[in-house]
Structure 1
Amino acid sequence: MSTPRTDRPRQVTAEELRRRGWRGRLVVLGPAFVAAVAYVDPGNFATNFSAGAGYGYLLIWVIVVANLMAMLIQSLSAKLGIVTGKNLPEMCREHMPRWGSRLMWVQAELVAIATDLAEVIGGAVALHLLFGLPLFVGGLITGVIAFGLLGLQSRGHRPFERAIVFLLAIILVGLVSTLFRTDVDAGALAAGLVPGFAGIDSLMLATGILGATVMPHVIYLHSALTQRRLEPRSMADTRFLLRAGRTDIMLGMGLAGLVNLSMLIVAAALFAGTDVPATDTLEGIFAGLAAQLDVVAAYGFAIALLASGFASSGVGTYAGQVIMAGFLRRRIPLLLRRLLTLAPALVVLGVGIDPTQALVLSQVVLSFGIPFALAPLVWLTARRPVMGELVNHRLTTATATAVTAVVVALNGVLLWQTATGG
């Protein structure tokens, strides 16, 4: 009588994948697609559609620039996790005084809560548009679905990543399918790639697009998604993982950029120069798509928004786990973490605060957290004692520093505009 085998399948090594060439790189894909969710969250839906409705194709170049910035920043975060085997919160705890690490944790937790506020509201609005559910009920459903997504982590990183990629595919199909059915002005689209503005209001909207592009929670998370994913046994292995990570980022962030461009182009083609009302709200966009194109386009938008709310809420809670474990070396049960970040969103929905206003408020809170994530990331990846021979090239550090300064300045403008009512 034979005895059953109890050994687990052997995990493939980085060296084996390296020897497979481009096929090996495909196996490493995944982390950037999870990070890409932050760039197509419900806040981006409202901002990009508003830009297209208000100024046509004028601000297409802003989305392109924002996407290039995202690629650079996420590549540094992924690099930190691959080279050091530790994530950004862990590295901050190691290289900062205790009081500084605790302050970083506090602001990062506020960022996690603000992130979940936007994502849950987006999911709730989508469920209301699709099925007429009350916003509070929709928020509860979004929270439960996100919790279910996080439960996939117990089976390893692959099931969670596959679920996120599936939701990203839904977002892409829901928006790009409408783009192909829209009469796009190719000449105006090409002209929109040339930087330019049409007055102070367009400058402010461009500031909003750029400033809201970099989400601090996903900077923390991406470094955690790449750490110890595959243990490099040599410098050649590490360099292979870095190359594979760059491919991952190009594909994942490229997908996010395509989604954002689709939103703006559709809005420019259907709403710009028309009297369609309330195109700066999610509900108004839904109604406008139905009026200007058809119900299929409207429901495609709502389904994409729903997938965005589900995926981004799950990713946001995942980031909250990484933040607490990294800064404090403590973990709390996943259900408690989900409830803590979900509660503020349910309160907002329960008391009847306007969802669009709540989304704007969440972006303001996120703006405060951006420099706390970006500055340490650039500083750490530019330090030879941390990164060894894989330390950033001087040009990379200079570019990343300039991007950090631009993002921080733009978010400062947004904060000032919000505070003064400008």
Structure 2
Amino acid sequence: MIKADIYKPTFMLLMVIHLVWLTSCGCNNRKQPQEATEVVGCAQSLQVLIKHSGWKSPFKSNFTAEIESTDDKKLRVQLSIPPNGGSRTAHTIGWIVIDEQKKTLSDITNDPENPEPITYQLKDWNRFTTCFHEDAENPSTTGPVLQLSDLFTEGSTTAFSPKDLNKDEPNIKQFKAKLTRFEQQHKGDQLNTEDFSILINYEVFDNSNTYVNSSWLTYFLNKYHISPLKLNEAFEQAITQEDFNAVKILLQHGFIVSDQQLKAARLAKENSVRLTHYNLQNKRLDESGDPTFYDEKESKIDAIQQLINSQYQANIIQDNDGFTNLRESKSKTSNIVRQIQNAEHIKVLDNIGEWWQVETVSGEKGYVFWTRIKSGKVTR
């Protein structure tokens, strides 16, 4: 079901944009003849279906349409306009629902519970729906290179897991087709971990309308054999956004906690305390009078701090030789400070790169190659 409260802030913005448009453009109410359009691909056929329809919008000549989600033969389409001015992101201007079973087109921008029917041309409808189902059944490697953000789009919900991919449901079939194309384009270990940000949830903020089942994070970590060395940014993002599931998954994948992550957790806790104070003392408004959007009841920062502190304290040396060398600098040829025996506890001060700065129980500092450091097991 589409929740009405998701759309309220966008609706108010749309009203302002619409009023600006009315006062700034030379509007012509006469019906304009439709131009002949050569349609290539499903994305353009969707664009043409909406452009030739009875959808009423001042942005009809310059918009993009993207299928946001599918459910029970219904396709929810997000409509956007290109970024302008100093903005780098597109602006959402509305939503349309395509109901294949009832063969209806509806505008749900103003009120999802009471959609406005939209007329359309049958040839445009048939062209799009045919293309949509053919595309789902026959994925192609041609076209633009897909990124994770193309699989999990901003503002969408991906509640199903990798185990559900064989289910005969329209939204899953469409996703599977896109995933197949993605994996054909990204073979081996060719995946940018900076794109993992879309897989980190932030449910503690109630203005978030994007959700991805956490099992997809596990899926891509394993599918592309992502090294723990590449996960610092994702781990600290998971802390900041209080995604407890993501924190546990990254620890299970072999991420080792250092002083840097403990610091990130302390800052996240301070931010949580600050926002909670505003919620209780200032009617959920921050120092600038803006909403905090922070839901302290959903906060997971205490659990995250407890877990990563225990992992930090469990960091030990584990080497096939029974010991490893603590060196003065980040090189196997540098001077040896002393030998650290297996199972000896250490503090990891910095986990950037392959040589990590550590401190022994007795206070000596130096560098150890990262594969010699292990921590406790994490259960979900």
TM range (shorter): under 0.3
Tell me the TM-score normalized by structure 1: 0.22
The structure with higher relative contact order (CA 8 Å, sep 6+) is 1
Tell me the TM-score normalized by structure 2: 0.24
Q: As a proportion of its length, which structure holds more strand?
A: 2
Q: As a proportion of its length, which structure holds more helix?
A: 1
Higher-Rg structure is 2
